[in-house]
Structure 1
Amino acid sequence: MTSSAHSAPAARAPHTFRTVFPVLALCWLAVFFDGMDVNIYGAVMPHMLDDPGLGLTPGTAGTIGSWTTFGMLIGALTAGNVTDWLGRRPMLVASVTLFSLGCALCALAGSAGVFGAGRFVAGLGLGGLMPLCLAMVLEFAPPRRAALMTGLLMTSYHAGGMAATGLGLGVAPEFGWRWVFWAGVLPAFIAVPLLLKYLPESPGVLLARGRRAEAEQVADRFGLPRPTEVEAPAAGAKGRIAAIGALFRPESRWATPLLWLASFCGLLLVYGVSTWLPTMMRANGYGLNSSVSFLMVINAGGIVGMLIAGRTADRFGAVRVSAIWFVLTAAGALLLKSELPLGVTYVVVAITGIWLFSAQVMVYAATNSVYRDSERAAGLGLVTGVGRTGAVVGPWLVGALAQNGNQSWGFTAFALAGLLGAAAIALVPLAIRIGRGGARTAAPAVAEPSRA
């Protein structure tokens, strides 16, 4: 920072919620369409299974769900590194365009194989979008409000899930399941123009690409500290390798795999439930409309959960909140395995939604205080990317159980995933203390994950 008038604090906007709002709003819109796309498949799956022309079976449906999340795995692993070369805004636009294209392919599919290819293409875009939006919001978020901003962002995912369920209930029975997928093409015409016009580029990425003046202009406009060479992600292939290697420096070498395991469990729950909840509840004896409605109810609970978890984590720590939420999710999954009256089941589903989705999001929030600014994109990319293996396993596992008539065991699998996720995230602070104790060279101080 210089002493010139141009760089004086008075020339900068205050770093408040108001300054971050444009970034949060645009990322919220992008993640809304992400949530809509992910939940569309689960919302219309009962109708697709009843469509003889498509030739879809429960086993094939589970496999296709895994194709989607396998595409997301590739997209997430790629985006966290490629974004620092090409920029976060262009990659975000490419992600939205890609999953819109995948939805169009699904709507036109005449066979299960072509439909699966469409879901894979959509997955490539969906996988890249989430870590990009998270990295953007965390970079622009006011100090001590990272968890709250993350929670607010992720309410959009569940709003999108509720929109998908509404389409499944209102459009699919009357006009067929294909029209629901046509709705998934809308992001290319709504979100892409807005992102191109209004979303700023990351100051850190601009600085890494040699555009210092633009980086400082964006930082001043949004009330951010001006990025330094240390905070900027290094450019080039060597820089990307170095960024990944930095995730295993002494302070985080043990915390990193624990975050990966917690993310694996969280995403197994998120995508297993999003894909199979209506079909599992229908197998438990509930009617078709009620079974699909459960997906809307659990996403409504997810919105409430994000608001609660974000504020609670800013006070008590993202690690602590995530661990408790995972345990409560496990309890809810076991309750859903029981045969309960319809009204009670709706309540249990809603409450389980409060814990289930925000448990995973608080894993993301914890990474903000485990990794340095220059490591954030790579760290989030790998936490979400490696975690996507859980998103692959979840739909496949429940599909395999459903193929053999054992859908109810899916709830047991979800409960076990919740307990394992709780153990993994709860051990992160201990892992960082152990890493610090073993460090032999000085390193910049990193806040405890429990203070995220």
Structure 2
Amino acid sequence: MSSSLALPARGSRLAFLVVGLCWLAVLFDGLDMFIYGSVLPHLLATKTFGLTPDRAGDLGSYATFGMLVGALTAGTVADRIGRKKLMVACVALFSLASGVCALADSLAVFGLGRTLAGIGLGGLLPTAISMVSDYAPRGRGAIIIGLLMTAHHAGGILSAYVAKWLVEPVGWQSAFWVCVTPILFAPVLAKFLPESLSFLVAKGRTEEARALADRYDVELPATKSSVRQGAADRWNALVNLFRGGEWTQTLLYWLASFGGLLLVYGVATWLPTLMRAEGYELGSALTFVVVFNLGGIVGMLLAGRAADRFGAPRVSALWFALTAAGVFLLSVHMPMSVTMVVVFLTGVFLNSAQTMIYATVSIRSNPGDRATAVGWTSGMGRFGAVFGPWLGGQLLAANHGDWGFTAFALAGLSSMVFIGIAALRSTKAAGTGTDSAEQELVAAH
């Protein structure tokens, strides 16, 4: 009996090793994503590369456009080379791209570096989520994925400290050199991270997949035939999203996701700069980034439980309303202690509100169309991620920086309205379970 109990315990430890490696990869992903916003106030103050607010907004959009490309191509590339190799390649790509930024002698070269970094960043997150879904201990898939998502915000916290400690005394390049160091982590991933079970099954390497599943004490994914059938039916699943009256529902989800990611990436890019425009010192503005991402970690851990109790559509609509209120309040100069509380609460609601859109789409979709519905909702939302940083730059360039928080708050209100109407119109039965909970998070961010 003792030996039968020892294997699952060992398997769980091995599974958590996989989760830990993916968590570190996503941590570096978050660091690289948020570092631009953290150093942006310094770049604007010193007029590096002749940078102006509108050009700064364009640069912010380059990274999110690269993320769009990376996210849309990650699945195809992973199906060819494997999820493990793709994760290693993504870490290497965004690390080396940060080196391009650090060495840049012109705005064009810097923009190229951010675009390349975005491709790596966009490809890593969904691949890492897929990986931990394969290796999460039995019955803990949704919790493990939620834990993984906290790494992205931990990276945002790290980016603020990197900027706070290095930029002023050493120079802005030092922050991007720090973002090159994850390249040292790529060989660690290559050596210790096993291949995705889903990929092995899809390639017909069933015995290898079964051996890994037994070793890590996890369940084997769907069979090869079922995976092929799902791939063949993707087009039909997309068409199903527009059949009958479903097109209205689908467009409402897409619009809600557009506003949500506009808000997420607009605030992530411009929060320190907008807070400086409100009269706060640079050090305080970077502290707000830390507090904001701490709120994001708490929000990711709380949102799922709230959705289980009150329903994902209700939580998403309420979260967006509270986010809009918090973002709008940031345009008002308040005592520091009050502002910190508002920034924290805004981080709690903002970062998980978008995730609840994916949860709503997952729950309200037919099981056969679920992956397509969530994937396309995320994809359409990423156009908002490109638009958000650009919008903030245009407002600042026109000397309407005080309208920045108001514009982002309106985006939150629009998402509240769209997801609320979509939830009211939906008449489909809500299905729950670990698979849907995991799928709804695959497209997050």
TM-score, with structure 1 as normaliser:
0.85
**1:358 aligns to 2:352 (yes or no):** yes
Q: Structure 2: how far apart are the matches of 1:397 and 1:262?
A: 17
1:373 Cα deviation after fit: 8.9
Q: How does 1:263-412 map to 2 (within 5 A)?
A: 263-366=257-360, 369=363, 381-412=375-406
Q: How many residues align?
A: 431
1:78-112 Cα deviation digits (max 9, x unpaired): 11333223221111111111111110000001111
What is the CA deviation profile of residues 175-227 of structure 1, one whole-angstrom value per residue up to 9, with x for unaligned ones? 0000000011111112x123222323332221111111122223333444333
Residues 245 and 134 of structure 1: is their aligned pair in 2 closer, same or farther, counting only changes over 3 Å? farther
Query: 1:417-436 residue pairs with structure 2 within 5 A?
Result: 417-426=411-420, 433-434=427-428
Distance in 2 between the 1:369 and 1:395 partners? 30
Select between 101-110 and 144-153 the one with higher mean Cα deviation.
144-153
Choose the corresponding residue for 1:92, options 87, 93, 100.
Answer: 87
CA RMSD of superposed structures (Å): 3.3
Contact between 2:31 and 2:152, CA under 8 Å: does it hold in 1?
yes
Query: What is the CA–CA distance in structure 2 between the aligned matches of 1:73 and 1:407, rounded to whole Å?
Result: 27
Letter in 2 for 1:412: T
Partner-residue secondary structure (3-state), 1:289: helix
| Aligned equivalent of 1:124, options 119, 123, 140 | 119
- Between stretches 178-187 and 136-145, larger displacement belongs to 136-145
CA contact under 8 A between 1:76 and 1:381: conserved in structure 2?
no
Cα distance per residue 1:298-356 (max 9 Å; x no partner): 11111122222233334444444333222211110111122212221111111111111
SS in 2 for 1:171: helix
- Structure 1 unaligned segments of length 5 or more: list them: 1-8, 437-444
> Which shifted more, 44-53 or 360-369?
360-369
In structure 2, the CA distance between the partners of 1:257 and 1:89, relative to structure 1 (3 Å rule), is farther
Tell me, yes or no, if structure 1 residue 76 matches structure 2 residue 71. Answer: yes
Q: What is the DSSP-based 3-state SS (H/G/I as helix, E as strand, rest coil) of the residue aligned with 2:228?
A: coil
Check the 8 A contact 1:36/1:157 in 2, yes or no.
yes
With the length of structure 2 as denominator, give the TM-score of the two structures.
Answer: 0.86
Taking only the aligned residue pairs, the percentage that are identical comes to 50
Query: How far did residue 259 of structure 1 move?
Result: 4.2
- 1:152 counterpart = 2:147: yes
| Partners of 1:326 and 1:419 within 8 A in 2 | yes
Secondary structure at the counterpart of residue 49 of structure 2: coil
The DSSP-based 3-state class of the residue aligned with 1:234 is helix
Contact 1:92 1:132 in 2 (8 A): yes
> Are residues 1:227 and 2:221 paired?
yes
1:196 aligns with 2:187: no
> Quick one: which of 124, 128, 131 aligns to 1:133?
128
Once residues 152 and 301 of structure 1 are traced to their aligned partners in structure 2, the CA distance between those partners, rounded to angstroms, is 14
SS in 2 for 1:408: helix
What is residue 56 of structure 1 aligned with on the other side? 51
1:242 paired residue number: 233
Distance 1:281 1:109, change over 3 A: same
Moved more, 37-46 or 133-142: 133-142
What amino acid is the match of 1:168? A
8 Å contact kept, 1:248–1:256: no
Contact 2:201 2:224 in 1 (8 A): no
Identify the residue that residue 3 of structure 1 maps to in structure 2: none
Distance between the aligned counterparts of 1:141 and 1:207, measured in 2? 17
Cα deviations across residues 271-309 of structure 1 (Å, max 9, x unaligned)? 111110111111112222212221111111111222222
